[in-house]
A and B are shown apart, each in its own frame.
Chain A
Amino acid sequence: MAISIVRVDDRVIHGQTMTLWTKARPVDGILVVGDNIAHNTLRRKVLKAAANELKVGIYTVEDAPDKIQKGIDSKKNFFLISDSPQTFSQLVDNGVDFGKTLNVGPMNTRPGTKVLGRTVAIDQKDYEAFDNIANHGIDVQFQLLPDDEIKHWSTMKAKYDSMD
């Protein structure tokens, strides 16, 4: 497989991605999935610029399966990133196999979210998405930086459930 990381990150591509994750994992290009991003020209421009010399492909959920398969079959290495777990949940429902691990980076506070950690806040839809992904046998790993300790979905889920 030549998808070297599958990641949820609400800023998609930024300083930590480019300075730390690109050193921790092999990468020749970045595949970004998200209907909202694919339809936002300004955001696409910003992400392309953020990736410096790395090529970026930005796709809708509908177009992504074909591109993900090409990435998997390629000899090159790709990061697969979306700004929301709901995107990956949709992909899983559509039968897309992107591997057995989903890494979760920053998810900032938004209206309706519960704060589960310094950089992780999720709402009910995110919760259901993570649950769905985990139920498909994918290990959901919360880990901001490559050297950080990994927390698994079961831990984060219990924390969410324990909060009012």
Chain B
Amino acid sequence: MKILLLSHGNSASGILDGYSMIAGNNSNIDYIQLDESGISKFSNKVTDYLDKNNQVLVICDIAGGTPYNVSFDYFLSHSDKIRVISGLNLPMLLELGTSNVDILDEAVSLAKKAGQTGIQIAEDEEPDNDIDF
């Protein structure tokens, strides 16, 4: 299974850079970014990538944006080989990239869970020290 990150601007490569710093390189993760060169060029690159790879989890930065819409369009005719999710964040990518999950629907559930639980609110609490042996 491949993971393809899609973003407006450089957030996809930036998050992958953070991933590599913590977990090392992962040859199964790629990215394509929408930049000034335009939507049609971006769209072609994405379609080309998806045509060449089987079983791809596409992670977009935001639902309803161009990267999402382009991959969603592809998904509608290729639901056997890709899944599309939005809300790319580092905890999500770390969980996916370091687990050995290889089935698209399992990867989708894992991504959703990790992406959501990755949002934590710092609270200043007295630390307890009770370990339950």
Interface residues of A (CB under 8 A from B): 15-16, 19-20, 23, 29, 31, 41, 44-45, 47-49, 52, 55-59, 67, 70-71, 73-74, 76, 78, 145, 147
Contact = CB atoms under 8 A, between A and B. Distances in A.
Contact of B23 (A20, A29, A49): A20
Interface stretch (B7-15, B40-48, B50-58, B123-131): B123-131
Interface stretch (B31-39, B63-71, B92-100): B92-100
Contacts of B126: 45
Contacts, number: 51
B133 A76 contact: yes
Contacts of B95: 19
B99 A23 contact: yes
A57 B94 contact: no
B122 interface: yes
A45 B22 CA distance: 22
Contacts of B124: 45
Given A45-B125, A145-B24, A15 B132 contact: no
Listed from nearest, the 8 A-B pairs whose CB atoms lie closest are A57-B131, A15-B22, A70-B133, A74-B133, A44-B127, A48-B127, A19-B94, A29-B131
Point out which of B22, B125, B129 has the most chain A C-beta atoms below 10 A from its C-beta: B129
A31 B23 contact: no
Contacts of A73: 133
B24 to A, nearest CB: 6
A147 to B, nearest CB: 8
A71 B130 contact: no
A58 B127 CA distance: 10
Interface in B98-133: 98-99, 120, 122, 124-127, 129-133
Contacts of B132: 29, 55, 76
